[in-house]
């Protein structure tokens, strides 16, 4: 099974090295392929290392994480960016989303939930801490109820099986894990995932999963 290749970016050396140890100790499917200490170094490292995901702080010297996210998405559109920071400023949050970040998490997140978030983002979701979620809704759509209605309408297009798979994707499950849980082949899971994407546009819109652990339940659950 191929590993998720992650580049860590943070100017706090002790924090980023500790994070690397936690990720490598607690997972077998995630590989930290490098560490960068500012946005400019991150952009350079992405060009060389080709990671699947960049987990990046916001405020850093030389180039901040938001500007780096913009450059990374232009340089390597297939590389995903997930912000991990202590700053909840509206400007940072909204610009990060505008520039293509797939999520915005705060550093007080439990390590186990961070690992789930990494898997979920690579699986096609966008992850936002519940503390910054209102900023996304207010800045991007204006009405939280309208956003929820739109999501519910899109989900109604899915079959029972597709909703099951979407729920597992949001839990951060890999294709192999989904196949084992639902007794499906890997290619079958991939086919279902492609159908989900085409029906909902999930890969081109904000797929909101809050830091509280909310997820989309399969039909009949709850």
Any idea where the domains of the chain sit in the sequence? 4-138, 140-209
Number of Cα atoms under 13 Å in the Cβ half of residue 160: 4
**pLDDT tens-digit map of 53-85:** 999 999 999 999 999 999 999 999 999 999 999
How far is Cα 213 from Cα 218, in angstroms, rounded to an integer?
Answer: 15
Q: Quick one: which of 217, 212, 117, 130 has its CA closest to 172?
A: 117
Number of H helices, E strands in the chain: 10, 7
Distance of CA 207 to the CA centre of its chain: 9
pLDDT at 112: 84
Q: Quick one: which of 108, 200, 112 has its CA closest to 158?
A: 200
CATH of 140-209, picked from 3.50.50.60, 3.40.190.10, 1.10.10.10, 3.40.50.720, is 1.10.10.10
How far is Cα 59 from Cα 76, in angstroms, rounded to an integer?
Answer: 22
- Residues 6+ away with beta carbon under 8 Å from 46: 7, 54, 72, 75, 76, 79
Percent pLDDT > 90 in the chain is 41
**pLDDT level of residue 211 (50, 70, 90 thresholds):** very low
Q: Is 140-209 the same fold as 4-138?
A: no
Number of Cα atoms under 13 Å in the Cβ half of residue 78: 7
According to DSSP, residue 61 is labeled: S
pLDDT at 116: 84
Number of Cα atoms under 13 Å in the Cβ half of residue 52: 16
CATH of domain 4-138: 3.40.50.2300
More confident residue, 210 or 130: 130
How far is Cα 144 from Cα 11, in angstroms, rounded to an integer?
Answer: 34
């Amino acid at each position: 099974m191929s590993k998720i290749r992650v580049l860590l970016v943070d100017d706090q050396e002790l924090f980023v090295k500790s994070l690397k140890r936690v990720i490598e100790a607690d997972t077998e499917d995630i590989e930290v392929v490098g560490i960068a200490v500012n946005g400019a170094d991150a952009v350079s490292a992405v060009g060389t290392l080709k990671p699947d995901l960049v987990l990046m702080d916001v405020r850093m010297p030389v180039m901040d994480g938001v500007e780096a996210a913009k450059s990374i998405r232009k340089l390597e559109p297939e590389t995903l960016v997930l912000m991990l920071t202590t700053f909840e400023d509206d400007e940072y949050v909204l610009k990060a989303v505008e520039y293509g970040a797939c999520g915005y998490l705060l550093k007080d997140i439990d390590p186990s939930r961070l690992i789930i978030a990494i898997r979920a983002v690579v699986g096609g979701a966008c992850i936002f801490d519940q503390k910054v979620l209102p900023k996304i809704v207010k800045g991007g759509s204006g009405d939280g109820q309208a956003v929820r209605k739109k999501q519910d309408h899109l989900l109604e297009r899915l079959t029972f099986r597709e909703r099951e798979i979407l729920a597992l994707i949001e839990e951060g499950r890999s294709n192999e894990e989904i196949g084992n849980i639902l007794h499906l082949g890997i290619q079958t899971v991939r086919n279902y995932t492609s159908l989900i994407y085409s029906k909902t546009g999930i890969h081109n819109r904000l797929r909101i999963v809050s830091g509280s652990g909310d997820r989309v339940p399969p039909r009949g659950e709850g």
